[in-house]
Structure 1
């Protein structure tokens, strides 16, 4: 059953449980970190941006995981099939990053050892800026991008919890196809970000998570006959009885999907992504695996974020079939002990 949340109000009740589970077209439930019942070590908050074009891309994360904070960036080269990543670790942030309680209001600003990042909402989108002088052994990575977003259009929002403990929850908004423009510079290589095929993905997540979890997530975006289309696929964690986060966003409107499944034997070999009602039939051809392992004893994350090309078909609510042909995106498996 897919339950749509349509009324504004608090996210949590007085006991720290979700007031309502389901999906929404905008983050209309009010998140307040002070309302969360578990301690700071269970609270996980992040903002993630991936901006992808046919030949290059960049991914930037700011995360407060309680035990540690993370500021990370990756340069993605889809022509040479290579990735360069770097990160700064902040011990025990415990909410001191002051990440905003709503994705459309409040900026993310963080500075760590000469690295500066800023995500700022605007009236028609948001700016994504990064100054990372020490990136890639001193080559330096500099990002100055504007992502378009009409506040009246739909996003993919999910409000879910865990059946084993209803005080563990996840509140998340994903924008899978934000037209982008601006500049990305790695060392002496400057990329023009004004090409029409450049799209951004925004992942805004807030919640109280169990110690162990695994998730699968994939997204991409393009234009078909001048119309913007994006897709978001995700599963593997929390109770999805009321809703999934699977959706197509076509011309600013969410077309809701039920379940999807990723089929693969090896991260760098071909994937198939399907749904039981045949509304998703996508082939994903990997270019490279941005694999990363963080092991700090009690904390461990094993990430395989695979970048590649999506091809196949997506079916809208009215039965219209969209044909996708070699669109850059990603699909991932992430295992957490946090």
Structure 2
């Protein structure tokens, strides 16, 4: 049976990916809806900023009672603009902490608080990024990571909620799509699936911000030729299409990355972030807006699974103000055009 046409795909925009700190969530929502998007990813920092503005004071990240009031107001704001809050994000540094540790206790306390926020916001999905923390503390045992994700999924299940687990390409123990898929399979919960991301895979398996070429050149001290790298990337995407059922992909995020050829990033950790983490935070433009990664190939592989769920624009462009200034509407419309072009290119490559 053929999958539905790509025209059926619902499209969202991450609230953290548009505008600057001076722009309000209301302004962002108006621009997103004006460009034709159907939903938003509600970013926790945007929730905090909205709550601060609403209540006229700084709201603590664990003041869940107040944050739930703000989330309820955001839900009504989105309803007035005919937008769905499709996910709350990013829930990070959750899985793998030692049993009985303060970190693990805090992680599960956060989970309980975020579930309350999800209820208030009217969303049924939580995005979890693969843990990026000290390798001396976090378990590298897949069974431990899977058990934590399974427990989180079980906490969400009575509410009808689900967990979308995303590989972050700088993460400590699950930087690739294969890693998070292995963990999700081991956890084996119906409400636990994947969030896949064009940047996280293309930037992790093919790109490298520390080289002038912008691609991976060495691994374990050995040279990697461009031809072998491209061949390996293609094989990885073919494996993704073969092995991941479409219903276990809960949503797809799209973005690109700037090539750091003039000033490659240091390969050392800075401010607690590895180079790909710093790359992700400041040099991720819209597709076709100055990037260079092989992202259409990744989108092609995801669509080839039969996936037709939410696709969301999640970018972090440090050049935003130079390019768009205060014109959020122009940026949102550019994002919609980029989405349409990317999906069209990927659709054209379908067998």
TM-score, length of structure 1 as denominator length: 0.29
Higher relative contact order (CA 8 A, sep 6+): 2
TM-score (norm 2): 0.28
